[in-house]
Amino acid sequence: MATAYHNLSSYNAESIPNGEDMKIGIVVSEWNEKITGAMLDGAYKTLVKHGVKEENILIDFVPGSFELIFGAKHLVENSSIDAIITIGCVVRGDTPHFDYVCSGVTQGIADMNIRYDIPFIFGLLTTDTMQQAEDRAGGKHGNKGDECAITALKMIDFYRRNLAE
Distance, in Å, from the CA atom of 75 to the CA atom of 109, rounded to the nearest integer, reads: 13
CB 42 within 8 A of CB 9: yes
Active site residue 141: no
50, 74, 97, 141: the active-site residue: 97
Distance, in Å, from the CA atom of 88 to the CA atom of 145, rounded to the nearest integer, reads: 10
b/e for 132-163, b at 16 or more Cβ within 10 A? bbbbbbbeebbbbbbbbbbbbbbbbbeeeeee
Catalytic residues: 97
